[in-house]
Structure 1
Amino acid sequence: MRTVAEHQAVVAALFDAPQPVRLPTPEALGCATLADVDAPLSLPGFDNSAMDGFAVLAADLASASPERPVTLPVTEDIPAGRTDPLALAPGTAHRIMTGAPLPAGADAVVPVELTDAVVGPGEAAPQVTFTAPIDAGKHIRRAGSDISAGSRALPAGTVIGAPQIGLLAALGVTEVTVGRLLRVVVLSTGSELVEPGKPLRHGQIYESNGAMLTAAVTEAGALGRHVHFVPDDIAGFLSRLDEVADDADLIITSGGVSAGAFEVVKEGLSSTGSVEFVKVAMQPGMPQGCGHYRGVPIITLPGNPVSALVSFEVFIRPALRAAMGLDPNRRSVTARLGGDIHSPRGKRQFLRGVLRSESAGDTVVDPIGPPASHHLRYLAEAEVLIDVPADVDELPAGSSVDVHVLR
């Protein structure tokens, strides 16, 4: 059997390097930058006030006190957005609003609350009184104090989220080069499958893999599209693949890849000669297949739901994210087992688990549910996958194990 690492390498080889695309900044949400983004200008672009108050020369207030207040004439009113250049004469004050440009000559801003001025809109009073000195530089946002022109705003590999869009917009960056998000079609097969919401007959089950895997694709950052399942009919299956191949960067199927009869995916794609079906030394998820269909990468997963999602986590998610310039790795931690586990020697096992912390600060992982691959309940409860090496058949409670954090 092929090892997990060997099959991971085969799956990764199906994908090309991230494809750069130039997108309007708001549309780059969820994408990753493929190169550093440098600031075309400084933020702030000019010295401005951090408070509503009065721009002053600190030296004019050096002697101010409640007993000996200093009163200055107010010679200008500076709202945010005023564009004409102003200069503050010694012995005067300018009323200034938050974000408004600091007049030349001013070296401090006194908050309005520390004066006798009336807070609120309207014209400035002809004079203002101060009862305390102020340090030079107080309440001033200096030009470039956030970021200076030419410096790196976003490093390569940054995932664009709301804060990144805010920074780029503030810098006037209207477009950004990012990795193109891949279009992934998810297709389930099986004559026993019924669309949720419809009545079940004896021997039928509701189709869940398609919705689950499409959600996994979307969570991984790609553009998932769920194509409703097809019955166990080779011609119908291949016809459905023909329908979706022109609009997909990757096709994922689930079901129909085992060793039994009516394995429509395996039988249908084996005839094309471009898809390889193998057994991987892992549990769950031993039967796997991958290759190309009409030039489009296709990955065929087993039909049991736990096998399908664990296979996605182990093989598809890392390669898919890497192909879009996103970090391919889940967070991994080392934890102590909260109970004994048994594993089939020769197979790398991925058990479901939940984390907890003990009083000593240790991280403990408790295995949950049996290893059988139909137990969706325990998959839904799992916070991590416990990674048990292939050469291990049992581990007692307290043993150290690697776990991959799912949520």
Structure 2
Amino acid sequence: MQEMISLEEARELVMSRVEPLPVETMPVLDAVGRVAAADLRSDIDISPFAHSAMDGFAVHFAELESASPEAPVEMDVIAEVAAGDVYDGPIGAGQCVRIMTGAPLPDAVDAVVKYEIVEVVCGDGKPGSRVAFAAPVAHRNNVREAGEEARAGEVVVEKGEVIGSAGVGFLAGCGVVEVPTHRGPRVAVISIGSELVDPTEVPTPGKIRNSNSYALAACAQSAGAVPTILPIVEDTQEALAAAVSAAADEYDFVVTSGGASNGDFDFIKPVVESLGELLMTTVNIRPGKAQTFGVVNGTPVFGLPGNPAAAYVGFELIIRPALRKMQGYTHFERPVVTAKLSRDYKKKDSRRIFLRSTLYRNDEGDYVVAPAKNQSSGLFGVIQRSNCMAIMPEGLESRTAGSPIECILLDVSEEVSL
């Protein structure tokens, strides 16, 4: 009989048995949210040329040093430069060029004055017009310089960096259209139970729909993995052993739900032990004490309880970090904030308890956490309506309303630091 271990020991044990998967190359658009497996460099300067930051007039800044409302400086508009165009002609004293946002700044001038603060003396502001400037302008004013964001050959996304949606655009602008990332782990999801039927069926007496597989597959997908829901396995050791052995040969990680306790029809522990190495059977948490982990044919196999909340908590706290490590992520824990408990909570179990809860701010701006009134481990709806898990530490100490309590944020990425 394996002894019960702490959550931290369980996580460390599972993490020690997984490594980043091989690198694959994918289109940059598909890499959003993924981890760069190598330094990514720009092939050109970004921007490749100095350009105007806004619509306005390109001028010699020195000619406006004396400009004031009382004595404006007038200039002739001799040309117009739109985005995508180039003007390389001369620009003499007393002359300026109308320029649009993103257009290359002509070499002959060194500042841009925005259109709205320039008075049109005659004409329409386009070439052939005359305009007046009522204030000096700084050198390189409203100019975005060549190479301002990156130089050719410079690393623009570092190995291990998570690529965001803006990063996709940045890489595209740098000429990086394919990105090396660690392959997403292929996760086999197996629900165990002779009472289970497919969600497309209307359950007959004694039967229930297989909802766990869908929830766990969604959890795996949310973690960046590629889940596959395998057929329901009946409550026999032989059937489960065949299913686990086959899945371990084909997938990178196997997750089962159901059959994790010590009942007459709970077989995941003896199956893992007979097929490979059984490393863990119970963790000091609630819900989800029964957490089975081992390795079969070199593949991690994790047996979650059949109760939805117990399965969800085990996946979120232990399996999700492992799947992230396999993709090259370096942050494994969701952000935690301290909030005031909304009501008294009497603790009747010495295990560390994770209460499905809602976090919000009160009128004073303080975080308040309201645990769901029904904490049954058999409920999915409570989890759907929760945005955090409030943590009641080990021991039997109860908490009163207003007590500070730590909360794991379920809808915030591990990369966020609070």
User: What TM-score does the superposition give when structure 2 sets the normalisation length?
Assistant: 0.85
Equivalent in the alignment of 1:97: 100
Q: Confirm whether residue 282 of structure 1 aligns to residue 288 of structure 2.
A: no
Matches within 5 A, 1:5-404: 5-17=8-20, 19-34=22-37, 36-60=39-63, 62=66, 70-72=74-76, 74=78, 76-82=79-85, 85-112=88-115, 114=118, 115=120, 116=122, 118=124, 125-130=127-132, 132-136=134-138, 137-149=140-152, 153-276=156-279, 278-326=281-329, 327-404=331-408
Contact kept? 1:335, 1:402, Cα under 8 Å: yes
The one-letter code sitting in structure 1 at the alignment partner of 2:146 is A
Q: Count the aligned residue pairs.
A: 402
Contact kept? 1:49, 1:99, Cα under 8 Å: yes
Contact kept? 2:355, 2:390, Cα under 8 Å: yes
Contact kept? 2:241, 2:275, Cα under 8 Å: no
The one-letter code sitting in structure 2 at the alignment partner of 1:318 is P
SS at match of 2:104: coil
Q: Deviations along 1:291-310, whole A, 9 cap, x unmatched?
A: 12222211111111111001
Inter-CA distance 3–73: structure 2 relative to 1 (3 Å threshold): closer
Inter-partner Cα distance in structure 2 for 1:9 and 1:281: 14
Equivalent in the alignment of 2:414: none
- Identity value in percent: 33
**Pairwise CA distance, 1:332:** 0.5
Inter-partner Cα distance in structure 2 for 1:68 and 1:101: 27
**Pairwise CA distance, 1:65:** 6.4
The one-letter code sitting in structure 2 at the alignment partner of 1:394 is S
Contact kept? 2:272, 2:295, Cα under 8 Å: no
**Pairwise CA distance, 1:236:** 3.5
SS at match of 1:9: helix
Contact kept? 1:32, 1:158, Cα under 8 Å: yes
Inter-partner Cα distance in structure 1 for 2:400 and 2:115: 68
SS at match of 2:202: coil
Inter-partner Cα distance in structure 2 for 1:382 and 1:269: 33
Inter-CA distance 71–357: structure 2 relative to 1 (3 Å threshold): closer
Deviation larger for 286-295 or 233-242: 233-242
Inter-CA distance 386–69: structure 2 relative to 1 (3 Å threshold): closer
Inter-partner Cα distance in structure 2 for 1:5 and 1:69: 71
**Pairwise CA distance, 1:25:** 2.1
Deviation larger for 286-295 or 365-374: 365-374
The one-letter code sitting in structure 1 at the alignment partner of 2:332 is P
5+ residue gaps, structure 1, are none
Equivalent in the alignment of 1:406: 410
Inter-partner Cα distance in structure 1 for 2:310 and 2:359: 22
Deviation larger for 173-182 or 24-33: 173-182
Deviation larger for 258-267 or 128-137: 128-137
**Pairwise CA distance, 1:359:** 3.8
SS at match of 1:397: coil
Inter-CA distance 260–101: structure 2 relative to 1 (3 Å threshold): same
SS at match of 1:341: coil
Contact kept? 1:64, 1:70, Cα under 8 Å: no
**Pairwise CA distance, 1:163:** 0.4
Inter-partner Cα distance in structure 2 for 1:101 and 1:13: 54
**Pairwise CA distance, 1:8:** 1.6
User: What TM-score does the superposition give when structure 1 sets the normalisation length?
Assistant: 0.87
